[in-house]
Structure 1
Amino acid sequence: MGRRTLDLPKVADISDTFLRVEKFVPSSPLLTSPFVGKDCWLKMESFQRTGSFKIRGAIAALTKIRQEESIVTCSAGNHGLAVAVIAKELGIKATIVVSEKASPKKIELLRKETEDLIVHGADYDEAEDFARELAESRNVRYLSPYNDPDVILGQASIGVELLSSFSGPITVVCPIGGGGLAAGIGMALSSRPGSRLIGVEAANSAPMRLALNRGETVPIDIFPTIAEGLAGNLERGSITVDLLSRYAESTLSVTESQIRDGMSYLALHHGIVAEGAGSVAMAAILAGEFPLPKGQPLIAIVSGRNIDLDTWKKFLES
């Protein structure tokens, strides 16, 4: 597939987007996590009604689409679920494509919300290529779960909420898959000098760090990961690379063992069920992958909960 040309989202548009998003979803809660430090917090996006932060980007994008229009989107699961729910509420026709490797739990949830679900491709990359080709053949909009300016502005609403909760500079640690979440939060934090954004990939699927080092997207081999919601290559020329080069202080990766430690910590200390992708920020903090900030709050984004409970228990026991 060829490279799409997309405009970069503007920091000046964050406020208007936030107003649209807050009409549909409440601010997610902040929980203290004193076991890590006296000023460590969890931003509980896993408490959102579709189980992840993805509902924010879906709202931001779909509220700008006319009801008579239709879209095609691709997803590892959580974005698709968010799109299915919001599209139904707005009366927009949405075709959702997931790969055969998508979480069975997420496919189960999707089937409850939409009749227009296509399972195609051996992995996320194949599903994404198919979805883009399908959108082109239908002459409708392809809505990327990360490489889309409206989606990114929707995720920036998390940053707006965090800035309203703390008076000074903050350090935010968040997952990176395609980079839409990190790009949006980083854009929002740029309005407060001294604030920092640290992005975390799964080591078994870490195309963003290489893309940032090279200055362009570079296909890599993707290996199985507990954080399946983050797995996959980046769309060629994704605008998230440019945005993270501007707004992220650093990116790092965590191993499968470290991700399990993050999941276990959230379960044992907070009673929180979090999927692998939702636990990588805490995994990086626990592993000491970066120096903890002094004199400012440290916030870990707990981004999603949609994991089969039996699978979750097996990961914790392994």
Structure 2
Amino acid sequence: MQVTFSDIQAAASRLASVIDTTPLDRSQTYSQLSHNHIYLKLENMQRTGSFKIRGAYNKISALAPDERSRGVIAASAGNHAQGVAYAARLLNIPCTIVMPKMASLSKVEATRRYGAEIVLHGQSYDDAYAKAKELQEETGYTFIHAFDDPDVIAGQGTIGLELLEQNQHLDAIVAPIGGGGLISGIAIAAKAIKPDIKIYGVEASGAACFRRSLDAGDITTLDTVSTIADGIAVKRPGNLTYDTVKNLVDDVFVVEDEAIARTMVMLMERSKVVSEGASASALAAILTNHLPFENKHVAVVISGGNVDMMLLSRIIEHGLVAAGRHARFVTTLPDRPGSLANLVAAVADVGANIVSIEHHRLGQSLILGHVEVDMAVETRNEEHIEELRQRFLTLGYSFQMK
């Protein structure tokens, strides 16, 4: 079944009293960095914390009475789970969600609080999907696909309607791609309203199933996926979504996890926006110069903000290192008074801040009468780290960066 513009308009009517029209905020910072006019579509502020409620509610509200009575089941790494559970609660329908065992604890608990029964299975979305289909066969539940469903795609496409209502001058829209439901819906809606608008999708390098499939000329299944962007960690495109992306999406970019982590940190620091890895990927592509133009009006879909706090703390640390905001040095010093003080003074001289320092006298590689110092420092950027390196070299310190 193909999704039409009228399907998306009908979805918008169904969703009018259920979802929020999320802000479209122009960012001076990202506009300057990319040499374009960048607008953030803040779906992290949507109900349930992501865009997924749009497609989930549109699908479930359109079910026939007998389909509702059997209850619904879905597979998800998190955001679709919350969208389905929330929609099912609003419509008073029993709900079961199968989630990967490694799904974010915060997403699992949020889904449970919306009233869903949770089944943890497998290591990836695809494992959870297979289990959900098995349970559907056993129980007769109505399956709510995360992306490869016309009603789900139509619901996600309402973002495209909103974007061009909020800014009719948009030249391009950039959105993350997991299974392809979001980008497909947006592309159908936006190109129906403004045929010359450019639509770009973004995948994580560790889960680039669309890029691989488009390059091969047919749907391809990845052997494994590995990325901090769990919301787009999908091995295989959907059948409907692959055709839509192939025909309507202008390009699919691939970004590394390091760029995603840096972008998450930048969104928090510069924009005061908490973004999960999947939603930061779209902005990461822009900040790593993937756009083939300048001075255009570009909307970036920040698709969700449901990130586990423990994972977020690790990503912040990783992002700070990747951005040159943290560095770690290991060196040896003579074991005599004043040696450590001189090293600390060298750090202070260049304006860096010591976060932690460890002083070891024992070690097989240590020369007698020397100590090893392992030091983590807070820096401004890569240039500041290089300034500190040069200071150490000038003073004769032999060191390693970790």
Q: TM-score, normalised by structure 2?
A: 0.74
Report the alpha carbon displacement of residue 141 of structure 1 after superposing the two structures with TM. Answer: 2.5
Aligned partners of 2:38, 2:180: CA distance in 1, in Å? Answer: 23
**Rounded Cα–Cα distance in structure 1 between residues aligned with 2:199 and 2:224:** 25
- Counterpart amino acid of 2:26? T
- The C-alpha deviation readout for 1:116-142, integer Å capped at 9, x for no partner, is 111111222111111112112223322
Q: Structure 1 residues 281, 233: closer, same or farther in 2, change over 3 A?
A: same
Give the 3-state SS of the residue equivalent to 2:74 in structure 1.
Answer: strand
Aligned match of 1:123: 124
Matched, 1:208 2:210: yes
Tell me the residue number matched to 1:3.
Answer: none
Q: CA RMSD in A?
A: 1.5
Partner of 2:4: 10
Q: Following superposition of structure 1 onto structure 2, how do residues 1-318 of structure 1 map, counting pairs within 5 Å?
A: 7-37=1-31, 39-65=37-63, 66=65, 67-191=68-192, 192-234=194-236, 238-294=239-295, 296-318=296-318
Contact 2:227 2:233 in 1 (8 A): yes
| Deviation larger for 165-174 or 28-37 | 165-174
Q: Is the 8 A contact 1:215 1:241 kept in 2?
A: no
- The secondary structure found in structure 1 opposite 2:29 is coil
The answer to whether the 8 Å contact 2:94/2:116 transfers is no
Cα 1:169–1:273 change in 2 (3 A) is closer
Q: Which runs of 4+ in 1 moved over 6 A?
A: none
1:63, distance to aligned residue in structure 2 (A): 0.8
How far has the Cα of 1:11 moved from its partner? 2.2
| Counterpart Cα distance in 1 of 2:147 and 2:279 | 16
**Aligned 8 A contact 2:85 2:116 in 1:** no
Q: Comparing both structures, which one devotes a greater share of its residues to strand?
A: 2
Shift, 1:276, TM fit: 0.5
SS at match of 1:181: helix
* Contact 1:222/1:231 (<8 A) preserved: no
Q: Structure 2: which amino acid aligns with 1:36?
A: Y
Contact 2:264 2:280 in 1 (8 A): yes
Shift of 1:208: 1.0
Alignment deviations for residues 267-306 of structure 1 (CA, whole Å, 9 cap, x no partner): 1111111111110011001011222443x41111101111
> Cα deviations across residues 31-86 of structure 1 (Å, max 9, x unaligned)?
11111226210000000120100010011101101342422110111001111011
Compute the displacement of 1:195 (Å). 0.6
Deviation at 1:115, TM superposition (A): 4.3
Any conservation in 1 of the 2:222–2:235 contact (CA below 8 Å)? yes
Q: Deviations 1:8-46 (Å, cap 9, x if unpaired)? A: 212231111111112201210111111122621000000
Amino acid at match of 1:48: Q
Whole-Å separation in 1 of the counterparts to 2:15 and 2:94: 20
Q: Matched residues, percent identical?
A: 35
SS of residue matched to 1:50: helix
- Deviation at 1:170? 2.6
Give 3-state SS (helix, strand or coil) of 2:123's partner.
coil
Q: CA shift at 1:311, angstroms?
A: 2.2
Instruction: Write the letter of the residue equivalent to 1:239.
Output: L
The answer to whether the Cα contact below 8 Å between 1:171 and 1:198 also exists between their aligned partners in 2 is: yes
In structure 1, how many angstroms separate the alpha carbons of the residues matched to 2:223 and 2:253?
A: 17
Q: Distance in 2 between matches of 1:43 and 1:245?
A: 24
Distance in 1, Cα, partners of 2:265 & 2:204: 16
Q: In 1, Cα distance between the equivalents of 2:181 and 2:217? A: 17
Residue 255 of structure 1: how far off its partner (Å): 0.1
SS in 2 for 1:274: coil
Structure scoring higher RCO (CA < 8 A, sep ≥ 6) equals 1
8 Å contact 2:178–2:232 — kept in the other structure? yes
CA-to-partner distance for each residue in 1:180-234, whole Å, 9 max, x for gaps?
0000000011121221110000000111112223343211132321101111212
**Secondary structure of residue in 2 paired with 1:251:** strand
1:226 is paired with a residue whose SS is coil
Segments of structure 2 that go 5 or more residues without pairing to the other structure are 319-402
Whole-angstrom distance in 1 between the partners of 2:30 and 2:274? 18
Task: Give TM-score scaled by structure 1 length.
Answer: 0.93
Query: SS of the residue aligned with 2:47?
Result: coil
Q: Which has the larger radius of gyration?
A: 2
